[in-house]
Structure 1
Amino acid sequence: MQKITTFLTYDQQAEEAAKLYVGLFEDAEITNTTYYKEGMPVPAGRVMSVEFRLAGQEYVALNGGPHFRFAEGMSLFVSCQDQAEIDRLWVALTADGGQPGQCGWLKDRFGVSWQLIPHNLRQLLSSPDPDRARRKMAAMLQMHKIDIAALEQA
C-alpha cells in the first residue's frame, strides 16, 4: 500500500470518472467499489467510493455531493511519451464538456485539472541560444495542447 493516495471527491460521478480514467491508461484497473448502505445520507445501493489504479498510482474517488468542487491548484500531471499520447489523452479528457487550458493544461468534464506534458519538455524548451530558448517558451505559452513539432521548430 502506498503511503499517500490521491483522493478525488465528486458530486455523483466517481464511478463514471474512474471508468474513464482506467480506460485511458495501461496498467490501470478499478480495484474496489463501495456502496452506500441504509441509514447513510445517500440512498442505499448508490456508489459511495471507487478505488482505482493508474500506471501504478492508487486513487480513491468518492461521491460526496455537490458542495465539493475541484480547484485548478491541484492537477494530475501526465508525462507523455510522444505527440500521439498527448493527442489521444487530450481528445478523451476534453470530450463531453471538458475544457482546454493553456500550456498543456485541461479540465475534464468532471472538473479535474490535468497536465499533458511531453516527458522531455525541459529539453524541448532549452537551447544554448537564449533567443531560441525564449522563442520556444513564447511558442508554448501560446499553445493549449502541447505541439512537440512546433516546439522543436521554434
Structure 2
Amino acid sequence: MANVQHIVPCLWFDTQAEEAAKYYTGIFDGGRINQVSYYTEAGKEQHGKEPGSVLTVEFEINGQTFTALNGGPHFKFNEAVSFQVMCESQQEVDRYWTKLGEGGDPAAQQCGWLKDKFGVSWQIVPRVMIEMLKDSQSARSQRAMAAMMGMKKLDIAALQRAYAG
C-alpha cells in the first residue's frame, strides 16, 4: 500500500497553478508533477473558468505533496503562512535563496524569509541555526539571534562567528 499523506497544503493561484508547479518541481531535486485535473462545463456558473483549463495540479517536492489550485483572483498569499526549507550547507542556502527569490519581492526578504514570484513565502533555514537558537537564555544563542536579525539571506559562517563570540 502506498504511503498516503494525510495533510496536503493547497496553494490558491489565480491562473498560474501549472506554471508554479513546474517552477517548484524544477527547483527541488526529485520534484515531480503527479496529476493535473481540468475544469469542465459543470459548475461554470460558479467557477467561471473555461472547460479544459487547469483546475488543480498535484505536485511533489522533497517528498511533500502539494496541490496548486487555479481558483481565480479572490485570494492572495501573505506571510502568515510560509514553507521552511531546511538546509545542511551554505551552498544549499545560496541555491534555494537564489532560485526561489528570483523574480520575487526583495522588500520581503528578512532573517532568511523571502517571497517568490508567485507571492508564496519561504524560509531558507540552515539546520545549524536551529541548534544555535535552542537555548535562548545563553549569551551565545542571543548573539546568534542578534546576527540573524540583521541578515536577509542567512550566512552560516557569520552566525557561527556570532555564536562563538
TM-score normalised by L of structure 1: 0.91
List aligned pairs for 1:1-154, cutoff 5 A: 1-39=4-42, 40=44, 41-99=48-106, 100-125=108-133, 130-154=138-162
| Cα distance in structure 2, aligned partners of 1:124 and 1:55 | 25
Deviation at 1:125, TM superposition (A): 4.0
Q: Distance in 2 between matches of 1:44 and 1:126?
A: 52
Gaps of 5+ in 2: none
Query: Match of 1:149, SS?
Result: helix
Instruction: Write the distance in 1 (CA, Å) between the matches of 2:134 and 2:66.
Output: 34
C-alpha deviations, 1:39-86, integer Å up to 9, x for none? 532112221110001111110000111111112111111111111111
Kindly indicate whether the alpha-carbon contact (under 8 Å) linking 2:132 and 2:140 is maintained by their aligned counterparts in 1: no
- Residue identity opposite 2:35 in structure 1: N
| Deviation for aligned residue 1:141 | 0.2
Q: Deviations over 1:75-102 (max 9, x none)?
A: 1111111111111111111112343421
In the TM superposition, structure 1's runs of 4+ consecutive aligned residues that sit over 4 Å from their partners are: none
- What RMSD, in angstroms, separates the aligned Cα atoms of the two structures? 1.9
Query: What is the aligned length?
Result: 154
CA distance in 2, matches of 1:78, 1:126: 18
Contact 1:125–1:151 (8 Å) recurs in 2: no
Structure 1 residue 126, shift from structure 2 partner: 6.2
Identity %: 48
Using the size of structure 2 for normalisation, the TM-score is 0.85
Residue ranges of structure 1 left out of the alignment (5+ in a row): none
